[in-house]
Structure 1
């Protein structure tokens, strides 16, 4: 469960029957406002409260869409930008724009829709932090089946878990350690490394409101070197500078993360291996919170004429329909093979 500074959802939505939630129909859901009972910061941090309120005013007036503006969400961007309000706002606007340009790369449905992909145990967050107080976000490539998992599925998993990790101030301030286990990686996964996928994925990663994020790659191989040769030149310098390759050297890994949070499978002292059910439950227990987030960036403000964005919503529906057709086509091809 989230630790201190737990996020209080700014709204609570009733989960609709079925999974087909359309962006422009979100206003029909029941919305109940919920406010945090206590301020995030003490009276000694009055300057931070002033900056939070300043950023909130900017966000709430930035466009025609309902935007999330609770204190803890705004603090993600302020912490990331050293409490520079304008820089935090520009980062948020860039993320909003990326979401409108590539909606398939962002979550826009209730959590029940994503439970199946979560159960594949490709990505998850450990229950303990590393020695620097950072959350540890694990990716197990051996659990990735490229025939059933798309690049956008992986993007949705990243977003779901980042929302979970950034639910407290400690993670916002200390950061995230991404542990990427390359063992069992299939050569078929090279199909993911298209210029478009790399570009969008890199842009989304760069805009995440995380001040300190490191990438630790383990169990790599000759095959990985081929993948890196394709991927590395397209990554931003910001990401490149934070990638560490440990291969199978646990001592090297422990120098960065310590042993206490890792299982024995990685030379640690936190159990024998990963307890997937327990780790996934951390996120599933917050279903109401995730369902409350669906409306942001999709629901128009009450005074806005919806016909102004009719084309946008129509394109979003077509995108989802096309995605479903492509998935069905792929399933047919697999059956024929």
Structure 2
């Protein structure tokens, strides 16, 4: 186990964490001790990571309610066991992963929205006749894991997810079986970063048919965070500052090409970490 967590963010972050997440130095230390004791003595079968920096995001996501955190940790490590197609053999050099990353299926921005991490998810960038939906989810989660480690504020302020529906067709929809949708939503709701906004842009008129299936598995809280935009990116600009968006989305931020290259390099540099991380899953 590595050393004790040290809060290195600024005073505004500390104040926000205290007021919105119930996080204080004392509460953090007490909760981390309780969670580690529980994982070691009562839940060794989860085979969870015991370092402070890997437990803390779950505490923050549950506003330091230890009982809720225990549920989320159990769900998360069980998910890692039950969905090996997403969490095993996460080698960034795999051809199928490289193809999907370079297509830009999941692209975090380097500029933030009210301190939230912003991610563009291009739901139809891949060819459904060539690429497996499981590999799409796998590549996306790999990038999210690295982005969340690089940007700690995502644990505190959450994530704004922009789902670009451009080019979506019946073959993309057919990949998303009800069981896969159920597992995808379960993953969102039990991951170590909370989705605060889910913005669907360039949406086809039949989007609600697909979205309603997703919503069936969502908690009421997550359901209320879903918003659909039918007017291209124009209505998105009313919610997300154009200055942080790539030029491809009408903004003045970094290009999608540069962002894709940036995150691919990050993935490749974490190849050893991914290999080591695979062992952490429920037995």
TM-score by structure 2 length?
0.82
Equivalent residue number for residue 35 of structure 2: 55
Which structure 2 residue ranges, 5 or more long, are not aligned?
9-23
The 5 A counterparts of 1:250-265 are: 250-265=233-248
Q: Using the alignment, how far apart are the partners of 2:257 and 2:239 within structure 1?
A: 20
Q: For residues 141 and 102 of structure 1, do their structure 2 counterparts lie closer, same or farther at Cα, with a shift above 3 Å needed?
A: closer
- 1:1-337 aligned at under 5 Å gives the runs 35-36=2-3, 39-41=5-7, 45-61=25-41, 62-64=43-45, 66-113=47-94, 114-130=97-113, 132-167=114-149, 168-248=151-231, 250-271=233-254, 273-275=256-258, 276-297=260-281
Conservation of the 8 A alpha-carbon contact between 2:229 and 2:235: yes
Root mean square deviation, CA, Å: 2.5
**Secondary structure of the corresponding residue to residue 177 of structure 1:** strand
CA drift at 1:198:
1.5
- Cα displacement string for residues 140-171 of structure 1 (whole angstroms, at most 9, x for unaligned residues): 13421111222321221232122123214311
Flag the 1:263–1:188 CA change in 2: closer, same or farther, 3 A.
same
1:223-270 CA deviation, whole Å, 9 max, x = no partner? 434433554444443332111112235453233221222012212111
Structure with greater Cα Rg: 1
Q: Within 1, Cα distance between the matches of 2:73 and 2:121? A: 26
Aligned to 1:308: none
Is contact 2:198-2:226 (8 Å) kept? yes
Partner SS state of residue 188, structure 1: helix
* Structure 1 gap segments, 5+ residues each: 1-9, 11-34, 301-337
* Separation in structure 2 between the aligned mates of residue 280 and residue 136 of structure 1, nearest angstrom: 17
Q: Please identify, of 66-75 and 97-106, the stretch whose mean Cα deviation from structure 2 is larger.
A: 97-106
Distance, in Å, in 1 between the alignment partners of 2:32 and 2:71 is 15
Deviation per CA, 1:193-243, whole angstroms, max 9, x where unpaired? 322112111212111132453111111122434433554444443332111
Shifted more, 170-179 versus 56-65: the winner is 56-65
Question: Separation in 1 of the partners of 2:61 and 2:255?
Answer: 35
In the TM superposition, residue 116 of structure 1 has moved relative to its aligned partner by 4.1
How far apart, CA to CA, are the structure 1 residues paired with 2:67 and 2:168?
A: 42
Q: Secondary structure at the match of 2:229?
A: strand
Aligned equivalents of 2:58 and 2:46: distance in 1? 19
